[in-house]
Every structure is written in structure tokens, then in C-alpha cells.
Structure 1
Amino acid sequence: MQRPAPTQTVLDAPRGNWVDQRAPASWRPWLRLSRADRPIGTWLLLLPCWWGVGLAMIVDRPRWIDLWIVVVCALGAILMRGAGCTWNDITDREFDARVARTRSRPLPSGQVTLRGAYGWLAVQMALGALALFTLNAAAVLLGIASLALVAVYPFAKRFTWWPQVFLGLAFNWGVLLAFAAHGGTLHPAAVLAYAAGISWTLFYDTIYAHQDTEDDALIGVKSTARLFGAATPRWLLTFAATAVLLLGLALAATRPTPAQAGLATLGLAGFAAHLWWQMRRFDPDDNDRLLALFRSNRDAGLWVALCLALAGLV
């Protein structure tokens, strides 16, 4: 395990992030491997979980266990996003070394050894399992099932032009898990919200992937950004409209009261407006803007989670 100089940073991490500024120097390679210096991925994994809690409260009723589910989902998102990123960097270490934006990451830059990365992966997965096992049996089974999606995702860009679909399948699984953790069963609303989340992931990760289209073409990595090219704006509109429609159907499936429907619709309207704002600002040749738009999806998803929670508490 190599120890980097305190000043060593990762190129695609936000400037002045807490890992570079405040974390002990010996911790930084491991935190960078988990993308702790880029929390947007944790948010995008967590927010569908909170959607699931909100939907469950509308369908059923609020329960005290929901508070614990919210906490476990937050812990799980941190740990399993870190584990997923570690696994992704292990499988992509040779690709990352050939791309300017990623060659400063811990593995290709030598901040962490391959053996050390596998050990860190095991630690994060073990802690994630401890959190998961505090939930009911249905949630535990769904959590275990999600590991297959996490394992396959890093390889998807090698065999399909649609790796963002696999990311969506994995990143939105929390809707199902959190809903099941509430009452032990699933519901059409949770399944529809899961599908909405997948479409939303296709939207935001296509924006993100446009940062790497040239490098991806050189090394032979596939993505929806490369597939769509100049037609990307039309596809983004399709994904956004589909996400909004499916999320609206999920809300309708909960059979909300008028007060609940009003709050939930407010969340849906804000979500739709935010996606429209992103499409209006999309510029495939401006990497700084692409990254800013991608990160802004935290606010879009958080608004939905907040409105669903309020609706569930009415």
C-alpha cells in the first residue's frame, strides 16, 4: 500500500473537496478510491431509496421504522457506492491509465496497490452487509440480489452501447429495497418508480458520458453519448419525458389523498422543470457545464424525495 504525498489529488474531483483539504493524508487514497471526494454518486444512489420510503408511507402509513430505513439507506449508499467505485476502478484500471481525466485515480497513479484495493472492497462490503442485516428479510434478499448488477456494470461498456441501462438498474434498486424494508412487500408504485429512475439515470449519465467521448472512442469503450452523437438532445428529451411519466404513474398508483396528491405533484413538477432546465443548457463541447449539469441532478432527485416524504406524513 503506497502512501501519496498530501498534495496529490485526482484530476476529476472537485477542487477544494474535503478529502484533499481535511482528511488525514494516509486515508486519502482509500477515500478517493471510494469517490468520497465526489459525493454526487452517493446522492444519486441514495435518493431513489428515499423515494421508496416516501412512496411506502403514502401507500401504507408512516412507521417509526422508516426513520431507521432512512439512516440505513444513507449508510448503505456511502458504503456500497464506495464498494462499487472500488470494484469499477479495479476492473477499469488499464482503461483509466489511458484516459487523461482518470489516470490520476488511485490505482492507475499508484496511490493504491491492486491487493490493497481488493482489501478495501471487502471492508466496505462487510460494513454494508452489517447495515443491511438490520432490515427485514425482504430487504436483505433484495440487497443481496443487487450485487449481481453491481458486479456486471463495469463490464457493460465493453459489450453494449447502453451501459447506462446497467447503471440505472443498479443505482435505482434502492427504490425496491427501501419500499420492501417498510412493510415486507412490493407494490406497483415502487416498480414504476424504479423504471422512472432508470430513465432518469439514462438522462443524467448520458450527459456525464459526453465528457469522455473522444477518449472512449480511442480505447474502444461504448456509451450512449457515443451512440447518440449529435442526436443526444432528442434522446435526452425522450428519457426526461419517460422518467416524468413513469414517476407520475407511480404516484397515481399509490392512490393518494387530495393533500398527498398535491404535495407529490409539486415534487413531480419541480423534477420535470429541472430536467427541462438541464436540456436547455446542454452543450456537448463544454465539459465544465456537462459536469455541473450532471451534479445538479442531486437537487432534482432531492426535491422529489422531500415532497414524497411530506406527502407520506400528511
Structure 2
Amino acid sequence: MNEPTTPSTSPETQEAAPRPEAAQNAESTGAKAPADSALPGWLTSLPDTLRPYAALARLDRPIGTWLVMLPALASLAYTRMETGFAWIDIWWDVLIIVGAVTMRGAACTWNDITDRDFDSAVARTANRPLPAGDVTVTQAYVFLGIQVAIAFIAWICIPTDAKIVSLLALPLIAAYPFMKRVTWWPQVWLGFTINWGVLVAAAMATHVSFGSILLYLGFAAWTVGYDTIYAMQDRDDDALIGVRSTARLLGEQTILGAFCFYLAATAFFGGAVAANGGMPLGVLAVISFFGHAIWQVYKMNKDDDHALMVFKSNAWAALILVAGYTLSAIV
């Protein structure tokens, strides 16, 4: 496989380059919602003072919160296959939800701060609050601090072991926005970062077992697959500004590559179920997950324009595992 060539334009040249036509058109029409907003009507209905902060936290794009939260909930249910559920798990679920919303929002805000120059050159992201000038960098940092403070309240409520495990994720979160500038595999870094809640949830319930690690690796591989599909939307713009991704690296083999990661995820999930004795419902959940992966590949082979829809469908893939592990723990 030939490695793509990174454009040799200097930062000065990139800054002077014309902005994408879609971005210019969005500016000329006075559009307030980013082009990739999933809830543009809701976002634009917010007061002007709140709208940019909701966009920074991606509250108008809830799919990201689902993709952070569901693996952690699946991990808690997976751990309970051995012990059975306890009343405290309701409290753990609440803390997982609060942590997912706030830390996902904080991570997105940090990503927008570091990527503001890149975002201004990509049509899909040109109307995000920072490149659009709706908030200043200082205001974004203050909002970042507020979200971290809320997450901290949830953090002080979890067990000590879980506190320690969660802190280990901070370097991963801080470094992620820079990975697309130094490696063709930023999706791998994202996979390890976004699914760290799997390990935290395991530590909240009991401890991080071998099976929990297999589960974590499975969700990480799954993330590489779905984010590779997601990155297909930006390949042309990414090539123009020198941003790297697995979608650019794999080229015409992108769908095959994503499927290989889904296959690896299925193998890890199967190993995790075997390690925890979660049969037969756990096995059925893994088989159903793989069936969803096959459907994704089928849709993408028919039309690359399905990338966003297929990406969003992964919330259902994760829900399959949550349901399967939960039923296995109950039964």
C-alpha cells in the first residue's frame, strides 16, 4: 500500500489559501449552525449567548455522547455477569452519564481550541464557534474549565481505584487533537481514548479484569472502524490542509479496512464473553453486533454518501452489547 503524500505547503501558505466554497457560502448566508450539526433547528433556537457553547460541547450532536457512554455502560453490565447487579449500579450509571456528557463536551471544546485553524479550512467545520468568531479562545478555555469542574464533581463520587484509572485518561485526551498531524492512525488513538470509560466502569464495579481489558480493546477496534468511515467525509479537505487519517491512508480499501477492525472488535468481544462466562446471551449479543457490522459494510459498498448515516448507526451496535450483557447479568 502506497502511503499518501502530505501536502508540502507551509503554514503561511495554508493560512492564505482560499477557504472552501461551502464555508464561504455558509458565511454569506449568515448560518449559525455548523454544517455537521445534527440538531440545527434546536441549536439555532437557543439564545445567542448560549448557542456557541452548546455547539462547542456538541450538544447538538448527541451521537458522540452515546459513543462515549454506551461502552462504559456495557462494561458495567459485563462486569455484573459474574456478580449480579447491585442497587449501587443505578448510582454508577448516573455518574457514567454525567461523566460522558461533561468529558465528551470538554474534549470537543479542547479539540476545537487546538484545531481552530484547520476547522476554518474545512467546509464541514468552518461554521464551528471558534473559526466563525462566535466565541474567543479565552471564552472557550473558560467554558472548558466549567465542564471539567462539573466532571470533577462526578469524579469525587467514584471509588478510589476508579479515580486513579480515570486520571490516566487525561494525557490521551490532551494529546488526541495533535495526532492527526503526526500519524496516519489518529483513529487508533481516539479508540483508546474515547473508550477509557470501559476500564473506569470496571473499576467502579469491582476491578479491571482480563475480560475487561479484552472488552476495552474490542471497543477501541470498533471505534477505529466507525471513525474511519466518518473520516471519509473529509478526505478531500484533509488532503488539502495536510490532516492525516486512516480514511486517507487506506484510500480505495477504506471499507475493507473498517471491516477488518470490526472483525477484530468482534473477536475481542467474543473473548471477553468467554472469559466472563456470559453465555449464551452474551454470545448472541456479539453475533448480533457482527451482523450490524456486515450491514454497515453493505451500505458503504453501495454508496460512500452513506458515511454519516452509517457512522451514527453505531449507537445501535453498542446498544446491542449493552442489552445483551445486561440480560446475561440478570439471567
> TM-score normalized by structure 2?
0.88
* 1:144 is the counterpart of 2:144: no
CA deviations 1:172-222 (Å, max 9, x no partner) are 111110011012x21111100000011100110000000000110110010
Per-residue deviation, 1:16: 4.3
AA partner of residue 281 (structure 2): L
Counterpart of 1:91 (choices 85, 100, 114) is 114
Per-residue deviation, 1:265: 1.8
1:186-225 → structure 2 map (5 Å cutoff)? 186-225=208-247
Determine the structure 2 residue equivalent to 1:117: 140
Determine the structure 2 residue equivalent to 1:178: 201
Determine the structure 1 residue equivalent to 2:18: none
Query: Is the Cα–Cα contact under 8 Å of residues 284 and 290 in structure 1 kept in the other structure?
Result: no
Q: Whole-Å Cα distance in 2 between the matches of residues 202 and 304 of structure 1?
A: 17
* 1:306 is the counterpart of 2:323: yes
How many residues align? The count is 303
Task: Name the SS of the counterpart of 2:280 in structure 1.
Answer: helix
* 1:157 is the counterpart of 2:184: no
Counterpart of 1:274 (choices 264, 278, 292) is 292
1:248-263 → structure 2 map (5 Å cutoff)? 248-256=270-278, 261-263=279-281
Cα distance change, pair 191–109 in 1 and its aligned pair in 2 (3 A): same
Q: Whole-Å Cα distance in 2 between the matches of residues 18 and 296 of structure 1?
A: 21
Determine the structure 2 residue equivalent to 1:247: 269
Q: Whole-Å Cα distance in 2 between the matches of residues 234 and 11 of structure 1?
A: 28
Counterpart of 2:66 (choices 20, 32, 43) is 43
AA partner of residue 321 (structure 2): V
Q: Whole-Å Cα distance in 2 between the matches of residues 125 and 152 of structure 1?
A: 16
Q: Whole-Å Cα distance in 1 between the matches of residues 215 and 236 of structure 2?
A: 34
Determine the structure 1 residue equivalent to 2:3: none
CA deviations 1:129-187 (Å, max 9, x no partner) are 1111101001111111111110010000010000001100111111110011012x211
Query: Is the Cα–Cα contact under 8 Å of residues 69 and 97 in structure 2 kept in the other structure?
Result: yes
Q: Whole-Å Cα distance in 1 between the matches of residues 74 and 295 of structure 2?
A: 22
Query: Is the Cα–Cα contact under 8 Å of residues 38 and 61 in structure 2 kept in the other structure?
Result: yes
Query: Is the Cα–Cα contact under 8 Å of residues 230 and 308 in structure 2 kept in the other structure?
Result: yes
Query: Is the Cα–Cα contact under 8 Å of residues 102 and 150 in structure 2 kept in the other structure?
Result: yes
* 24-33 or 117-126, which deviates more: 24-33
AA partner of residue 292 (structure 2): H
Q: Whole-Å Cα distance in 1 between the matches of residues 104 and 243 of structure 2?
A: 22
Task: Name the SS of the counterpart of 2:316 in structure 1.
Answer: helix
Q: Whole-Å Cα distance in 2 between the matches of residues 61 and 188 of structure 1?
A: 18
Task: Name the SS of the counterpart of 2:169 in structure 1.
Answer: helix
Query: Is the Cα–Cα contact under 8 Å of residues 87 and 121 in structure 1 kept in the other structure?
Result: yes
CA RMSD of aligned residues (A): 1.6
Query: Is the Cα–Cα contact under 8 Å of residues 283 and 290 in structure 1 kept in the other structure?
Result: no
Q: Whole-Å Cα distance in 2 between the matches of residues 11 and 186 of structure 1?
A: 40
Q: Whole-Å Cα distance in 1 between the matches of residues 120 and 231 of structure 2?
A: 17
Q: Whole-Å Cα distance in 2 between the matches of residues 24 and 189 of structure 1?
A: 47
Determine the structure 1 residue equivalent to 2:309: 292
Consecutive unaligned residues of structure 2, counting only runs of 5 or more, are 1-29
1:8-19 → structure 2 map (5 Å cutoff)? 8-19=32-43
Consecutive unaligned residues of structure 1, counting only runs of 5 or more, are 1-5
AA partner of residue 37 (structure 2): A
Per-residue deviation, 1:58: 0.6
Task: Name the SS of the counterpart of 1:282 in structure 2.
Answer: helix
AA partner of residue 75 (structure 1): V
Cα distance change, pair 170–193 in 1 and its aligned pair in 2 (3 A): same
Query: Is the Cα–Cα contact under 8 Å of residues 17 and 37 in structure 1 kept in the other structure?
Result: no
Cα distance change, pair 17–190 in 1 and its aligned pair in 2 (3 A): farther
Per-residue deviation, 1:7: 6.4
Per-residue deviation, 1:231: 1.2
> TM-score normalized by structure 1?
0.93
AA partner of residue 217 (structure 2): A
